[in-house]
A and B are shown apart, each in its own frame.
Chain A
Amino acid sequence: MHDRGGRPTDAPIDRSEHELADWELLTDAVVGTLGRNGLMNVDELRRGIESMPPDEYEHASYYERWLYAIETILGEKGVLAPGELDRRLGK
């Protein structure tokens, strides 16, 4: 799914510029901080992204994939309890 090289596609490359939103910068910095604190390294981040269901991977934005990976990896490690983030969001 993540291994895209040479995958046939007619989709155009959207070259529009995008300034990172606050939440995207935040997500990036949280990942960096977790890495420096020894809680999640970049290889775990990538594995978490790669564990996304293919359909979600295709449709998620870049930092949505990162959020999925953080939740997955920190969930495995017991830092986040199952459903904890959803409850915080009132879901």
Chain B
Amino acid sequence: MNDHDHEHPHAAITNGDEPAAAARARALEELLLEKGVIRREDVRAGIDWLVSRSPADGARLVARAWADPEFKARLLADARAAALELGLDPGPSPVVVAVENTDAVHHMVVCTLCSCYPRALLGPPPNWYKSLPYRSRAVSDPRGVLTEFGVELGDDVEVRVLDSTADIRYLVIPRRPAGSEGMSEAELASLVTRDSMIGVSAPQSA
């Protein structure tokens, strides 16, 4: 298709502690600033937004859903609206859909084509989520992958893998762990890990 018409190697050549790509990224920003096609303050704002995103936001949604069945119903019906209801930023255009793990059904999320992920609510995806082996195996051997992540499911649990191939971003509401009865919403939120909202781990209350 569109061949690159210059000839430098793009491979991960490291230069001291930093990959050559770091210098390349900075030179690219500099050129684009000079050309006036981007403004530094917009780039800074983008970085600030990205570093402000964290799984704590998703965890608040899950904790509220655990504590309040009516909120959970609203989260499952329209995750974007539910996030706004808690004052959270659901991010720009991609649509967030929440799915619920139960005694009978376990969801896990992957993006086999690239790295689609609910960044606004969970922060940037972990490296393993973007890695080639996860992208390959999560769809064809999800139970094997779950075992690697330490999740053992019985044969009576149906495994559902969601491949986010387009404009929808999936957020898993993990099962509320036994022993969490009577916990405050903040305590519940502290049990909700990033990986549990991708569907590759299960919250523990101990």
Contacts and interface: CB of A to CB of B under 8 A. Distances in A.
Interface stretch (B120-128, B151-159, B181-189): B120-128
Given A23-B25, A29-B50, A85-B31, A36 B42 contact: yes
B1 interface: yes
A74 B132 CA distance: 26
A55 to B, nearest CB: 8
Interface residues of A, number: 65
Interface in A66-90: 67-68, 70-72, 74-76, 79-80, 82-86, 88-89
B112 A3 contact: yes
A52 to B, nearest CB: 7
A6 B148 contact: no
Contact of A72 (B2, B24, B51): B2
A64 B12 contact: yes
A91 B28 CA distance: 14
B24 A59 contact: no
B138 to A, nearest CB: 8
Interface string B14-57: 00001101111111111110010111001111110111000000
B51 A52 contact: no
A30 B32 contact: yes
Contacts of A6: 112, 136, 139-140
B114 interface: yes
A11 B134 CA distance: 9
B38 A37 contact: yes
Contact of A5 (B1, B25, B37, B140): B140
Contacts of B135: 4-5
A40 B31 CA distance: 16
Given A29-B46, A76-B2, A88-B27, 8 more contacts: A4-B113, A14-B128, A30-B43, A51-B3, A60-B12, A71-B4, A79-B32, A85-B27
